[in-house]
Structure 1
Amino acid sequence: MPVLVFCIIISFMLYLFYKTKYFRTNRPMEKGWLAGKSAMALGVFVALFGANQFFLELSTARIIVGVLFILFGGASIFNGFRQYKHFSPLAVEEAEAYKTM
């Protein structure tokens, strides 16, 4: 399915984008915030990759792998969102503190 493949590629590119921003920053709260965003992007990538397995030739192994990928991707999205939500106000405070320096 071309739409899923396009979304898979976009989510992987977002993961790489956020991960490079994570390694380039020196601010600890911003690092946590970006780690949450990259975890969500990676979770979307893995979940969509698992969903894409159902549109290919179906076999028992492919269904099991697809379900596992969807579950692991969903868990990564959930944990990434919790991390993003936790670090978002802290990153804003940190950015304001760095701005006033």
Structure 2
Amino acid sequence: MTALKFLNILFVVLIVLSFVSYFYFKTKQFRTSLIAHKNWYKSKAGVSLAAFIILFGFNQALMFPDWITFLIAGLFVIIGAVLGVGSYRRVKHYGQFVEEEYELNKKK
């Protein structure tokens, strides 16, 4: 198996995993009633979506090595990185309140 084919298979597996995790966190977001948990799961879904966008851009650049593909793949990577950084910061922010909100609502 060539290195190019191995990388393609690896990217496809990672793309599928990030897509599945996106839907998992979106489902968790809709199923919870606690506000901090909703925002936390929404942010985690954003990180998964960013990973999907970045991996898709890299996979397209790998499969179709042309200058226009590199340009578009670069845009995907930049957009995914911006989305990922913002979502990761929100995950860290809301993560502080998740346990506290759970403890406050458990006592009721």
Sort the TM-score into its range (normalised by shorter chain): over 0.9
Can you give the 5+ residue segments of structure 2 that lack an aligned partner in the other structure?
Answer: 1-7
Q: Tell me the distance in 1 between the aligned counterparts of 2:34 and 2:64.
A: 47
Q: What is the CA RMSD across the aligned residues, in angstroms?
A: 0.8
Can you give the 5+ residue segments of structure 1 that lack an aligned partner in the other structure?
Answer: none
Amino acid corresponding to residue 42 of structure 2 in structure 1: A
Give the Å deviation of 1:42. 0.3
Give the Å deviation of 1:23. 1.1
TM-score by length of 2: 0.89
Amino acid corresponding to residue 45 of structure 2 in structure 1: S
Give the Å deviation of 1:53. 1.4
TM-score by length of 1: 0.95
Matched, 1:89 2:96: yes
Give the Å deviation of 1:67. 0.3
Matched, 1:13 2:20: yes
Amino acid corresponding to residue 6 of structure 1 in structure 2: V
Q: Percent identity?
A: 31
Give the Å deviation of 1:50. 0.5
Secondary structure of the corresponding residue to residue 58 of structure 1: coil
Matched, 1:2 2:6: no
Match of 1:33 in 2: 40
Q: Tell me the distance in 2 between the aligned counterparts of 1:51 and 1:98.
A: 43
Structure number, greater radius of gyration: 2
Moved over 3 A (4+): none
Amino acid corresponding to residue 75 of structure 1 in structure 2: V
Amino acid corresponding to residue 36 of structure 2 in structure 1: M
Match of 1:65 in 2: 72
How many residue pairs match? The answer is 101
